[in-house]
Structure formats: structure tokens, C-alpha cells
Amino acid sequence: MIRVVVDTNVLISGLIWGGTPKKCLDKFRYESTYILLLSPELLDEFRSKLRYKFRVADEIVSKWVKELEEYTEKIFPSYTTKICRDPKDNMILDTAKSGKADFIITGDKDLLTLKNFKGIKILSPRSFLRVIK
């Protein structure tokens, strides 16, 4: 099993615009080899960005969250990491560490520059798809 944390920017891109981020999400949805790991805090950030930044209606947000939860493993991390400029990035690292993730998929440049966190590879969606081929 390949365990992966996906940043909210990739989740939202995959759901709204498709493309490479959607291909990553399809791995979790349709292939049992891949496990998507999400924390309640990542889901809250996902909901909030959809509602307030992208103005997605509440019923659609609820539908997407419900669908995501069907193929995710919920992780309840203790938040101890403090290495990133943006505290929300630390949340992603802690979720990955607690969930024993193999990968973090993100478009966030601050996270991508780390390349690795405690043995967890940090990749863009395109790089992730290339690595797992």
C-alpha cells in the first residue's frame, strides 16, 4: 500500500479543474494500492477554501467531502512540527508523519523545496505520477 497526504491545493485543483491533480486523485478513488490520508484539520481547510475562496455552494462542498471520506483514512496527528514559514504547511507534515505516509503531493513551493520530511517524499502531482509509473 502506498500512503499519501494530498495538500488542499491539489485536492481543489483536481476537483475543479481536473488535469494532473485529478489523475492523482483518481489513483485513490479507483486503485486500492493507494491510500489517501487526511486529518480533520485538512478537511476543514478544504471546506473553508471551497466555500470562501472559490464560492462553492455548501451542498456541493458537503457532497465532495462525503465522497472524499469514502476513500480516505482519517489521521489524527499531534501537531508538533514547526519548521515551515506557514503553520498550515506544518499541519500537512504532521499528518504525513502520523499517518506513516510515503508521499506528500503538493503544489506549495515552500513544501516542495523541502523535498523530503522524515523519509516522506514531497512531490508535485506531475512528479508523483512519474515516480509511481
**46-71, pLDDT tens digit by residue?**
999 999 999 999 999 999 999 999 88
Residue 61 CA, chain-centre distance (Å), reads 16
pLDDT category of residue 44 using cuts at 50, 70 and 90: very high
Rounded average pLDDT over 28-50? 95
Residue 116 sits at φ, ψ, to 5 deg, of: -155, 140
Q: What is the pLDDT of residue 37?
A: 97
All structural domains of the chain = 2-132 (3.40.50.1010)
Using CB atoms within 10 A of its CB, is residue 99 exposed (0-12), middle (13-18) or buried (19+)? buried
Tell me how far apart the terminal alpha carbons of the chain are, to the nearest angstrom. 15
**The dihedral of CA 117, 98, 93, 6: what is its sign?**
positive
